[in-house]
């Protein structure tokens, strides 16, 4: 089993130096805002995206001060989107703790998310890193479009495979893709390499989101959200989409009717989870996840072998085998 500590080994010093840099970026002279920002720093996750940034930079010549700025820009954007996501999804929990929305309500959560996003953009402008600004801005646009597309499809429940992958490509994969691209951009000025890393990161990001979708149908509530949460939010993700695609017309209509009208019924949620499990939805999703993960690894193997490349490959494998 791949461990995070093994993956971090080539960039241990970079991650150590990154911590105070990131903490400093989450500060304000406004007492209430400072309190919320400190809470977010204390409840931060594993910071996978800065790992992608530093490893990508190291793969293409080595890390530097720009790599630290790139990692901070990505992590600030990620933090801002999580705060906003909890408002959009009406979620009161994040990483096993209360969300900002739960503790300080919607208005402050939206403003805090806006503030964090602005902090990242200003850091890039102050350093005149306009190529970083372009990459980050593209990610913001993609994530917003992905979220809106998912909202639209959740209302109509008319999602198909192509739309599903378009949603997760924009909503989740775009930020991991940006992490890989901006890491490379901090080390080299080569658009071909930067876009190649973006493409590899996109495949990795799609695999990451499919893994999250699988978690939602498993017996334990992982990732700080209850089992069946996607069903309750009328989000048709890959495991359920496979079952819908395989069902006959009447069964498909019955399933969609249950999601539309009784998605908050625990009995219905349990029935749909059981159906997905019995009809091979999880196995299908895992197969697709591994296809994207393997494609990302194949892309990495086009670059010369080195410690950073091996850690990136291990990180891809970690994405597909993680337990939370």
Q: What pLDDT is recorded for position 275?
A: 92
* 319 falls within a domain: no
56, 9 contact by CB (below 8 A) = no
Tell me whether residue 2 is in a domain. no
Residue 87 lies in a domain: yes
How many structural domains are present in the chain? Answer: 1
- CATH code of the domain covering residue 283: 1.10.600.10
Question: How confident is the model over 160-190, as pLDDT tens digits?
Answer: 999 999 999 999 999 999 999 999 999 999 9
Residue 48 lies in a domain: yes
Closest CA to 23 of 11, 39, 4, 7: 39
Residue 324 inside a domain? The answer is no
CA atoms of 138 and 11, how far apart (whole Å): 27
In terms of residue numbers, what domain contains 204?
9-297+304-313
The Cα–Cα gap between 64 and 66 comes to: 5
Q: Which helix (H) or strand (E) holds 97?
A: strand 97-98
Would you say residue 198 lies in a domain?
yes
Residue 223's pLDDT is 44
**The length of the chain, given as a count of residues:** 324
Whole-model pTM? 0.92
pLDDT in the model for residue 264? 77
- Domain presence at residue 318: no
The pLDDT profile of the chain, 324 residues, written as one tens digit per residue, is 457 889 999 999 999 999 999 999 999 999 999 999 999 999 988 889 999 999 999 999 999 999 999 999 999 999 999 999 999 888 888 877 899 999 999 999 999 999 999 999 999 999 999 999 999 999 999 999 999 999 898 888 888 999 999 999 999 999 999 999 999 999 999 999 999 999 999 999 999 999 999 998 886 544 444 468 888 888 899 999 999 999 999 999 999 999 888 777 888 888 999 999 999 999 999 999 999 999 999 999 999 999 999 999 999 999 999 887
d(CA 200, CA 71): 17
Query: Is residue 321, in this structure, part of any structural domain at all?
Result: no
pLDDT for res 227:
67
SS3 261: helix
């Amino acid at each position: 089993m791949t461990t995070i500590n093994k993956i971090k080994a080539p960039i241990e010093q970079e991650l150590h130096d990154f911590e105070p840099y990131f903490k400093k970026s989450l500060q304000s002279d406004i007492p209430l805002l400072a309190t919320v920002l400190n809470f977010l720093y204390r409840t931060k996750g594993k910071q996978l995206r800065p790992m992608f940034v530093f490893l990508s930079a190291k793969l293409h010549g080595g890390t530097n001060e720009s790599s630290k700025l790139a990692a901070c820009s990505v992590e600030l954007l990620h933090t801002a989107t999580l705060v906003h996501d909890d408002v959009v999804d009406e979620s009161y929990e994040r990483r096993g703790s209360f969300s900002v929305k739960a503790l300080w309500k919607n208005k402050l959560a939206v403003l805090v998310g806006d503030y964090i996003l602005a902090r990242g953009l200003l850091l890039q402008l102050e350093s005149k890193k306009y190529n970083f600004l372009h990459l980050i801005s593209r990610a913001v646009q993609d994530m917003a479009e992905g979220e809106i597309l998912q909202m639209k499809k959740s209302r109509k429940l008319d999602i198909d495979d192509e739309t599903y992958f378009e949603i997760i490509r924009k909503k989740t994969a775009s930020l991991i893709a940006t992490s890989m691209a901006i890491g490379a951009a901090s080390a080299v000025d080569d658009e071909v390499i930067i876009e190649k890393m973006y493409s590899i990161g996109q495949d990795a990001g799609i695999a990451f989101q499919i893994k999250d979708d699988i978690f939602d149908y498993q017996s334990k509530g992982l990732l700080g959200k209850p089992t069946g949460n996607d069903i309750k939010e009328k989000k048709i993700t890959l495991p359920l989409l496979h079952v819908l695609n395989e069902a006959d017309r009447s069964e498909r209509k019955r399933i969609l009717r249950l999601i539309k009208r009784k998605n908050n019924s625990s009995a219905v949620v349990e029935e749909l989870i059981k159906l997905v499990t019995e009809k091979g939805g999880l196995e299908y999703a895992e197969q697709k996840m591994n296809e994207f993960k393997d494609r990302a690894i194949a892309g990495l193997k086009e670059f010369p072998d080195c410690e950073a490349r091996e850690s990136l490959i291990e990180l891809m494998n970690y994405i597909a085998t993680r337990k939370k």
